[in-house]
Amino acid sequence: MKYDLLGIGNALVDIEVHVDDAFIEQNSLVKGGMTLLSLENQQKILKELHGLSTKISSGGSAANTIHGLSVLGGKAYYFGRVANDIYGKHYAADMMSCGVGFSGTGNGATSTTGTCVILVTPDSERTMLTHLGVSSSLHPDNVDEEPIENSTMVYIEGYLWTGEDTRKSAEKLALFAKKNKIPVAFTLSDAFVVNSFKKQLLDFIQQNVDILFCNEIEARAMAGTENTQEAFDVLKGIVETIFITRGAYGSWASSADEDKIAVKVFPTKAVDTTGAGDLFAAGALYGIIKNYTLQESAIIGSYCASEVVSQMGGRMPVGSDPDAEKIIQKYQKL
């Protein structure tokens, strides 16, 4: 089978809860960031949240992007690990529901599927507390060359740099892709990842990456500056194509043919910003793969981001069936 996009990342089930800012402060959490926790510590947080309404949904950064591209009508495949437990079965079924090829469940009876507790504050910001579970057991041996050879593009998440085997899995995927002359897209994922693995990430990007996605906080961390424009200039000198998302201020993009384009956001009422960058990447990659211009690709990305933040959860609803041409026409009327 031919795939438009193949992705790799930490397969996680999201547990979303609305909290107030006081809860973030009382637990000394970094608002808007991602923190890795042991299962025990994650369970302690969940006990404190007992009684509050929660939403369970499949997640993971690259997985959200792959899922989103499939909702747009693309064909996709995903490398990730979940356990043969309730969460893992839910995850596999969710991927299958939109036709995403998935490397499957099962890693022994004692394993647990990775989970991410997402705390959503009244300003729609999300703070993530992640227990990687069996997702961290993703191993280079799990990376099969056949679906890579049959893909138009591959997509890798920076979160994989938090584990040695997961990083090696990403590097193996990139190696296969380069051998087969398949473009590599990459997301920095989180400023925490950039600050922890900056040199490794920079080396990887310079050697392997054709398309880079990041938000302005991650871009500034990678470039070592507090100025987003300076960060943009630095990064576009490292990679051929770059997209920087800037929240309510839209996005910037650059490629070999376009020095800089700016795209506005689609007006929407933000309920939960989980997945905004992931779905922007889904739309932008769909546009590039389907031969839209850089600006049109960023517009499709902007639309997908606006759709996902208007609801709880990091994925576009299956069946929404957005049409790229109509999205572009809608943008022209903004």
Q: What is the pLDDT of residues 87-133, one digit of tens each?
A: 999 898 888 888 899 876 655 555 799 999 999 899 988 898 999 99
Is pTM beyond 0.95 here?
no
Q: What is the CA radius of gyration of the chain?
A: 18
How far, in Å, CA of 56 to CA of 270, rounded? 19
Q: In the predicted model, what is the mean pLDDT of residues 1-9?
A: 96
Spatial distance between the Cα atoms of 202 and 207, rounded to a whole number of angstroms: 9
Q: Which residues contact 40 (CB under 8 A, 6 or more apart)?
A: none
Classify each residue of 23-49 as buried b or exposed e, where b means 16 or more C-beta atoms within 10 Å of its C-beta. bbeeeebeebebbbbeeeebeebbeeb
First-to-last C-alpha distance (Å) of the chain: 39
Average pLDDT over residues 142-159: 96
Beta strands in 175-239 (DSSP E): 184-187, 211-215
* Tens-place pLDDT, residues 181-196: 999 999 999 999 999 9
Question: What strands, in cross-sheet order, belong to the sheet with 54-59?
Answer: 34-36, 126-131, 114-120, 12-18, 54-59
pLDDT computed for residue 321 by the predictor: 62
Say how many residues make up the chain: 334
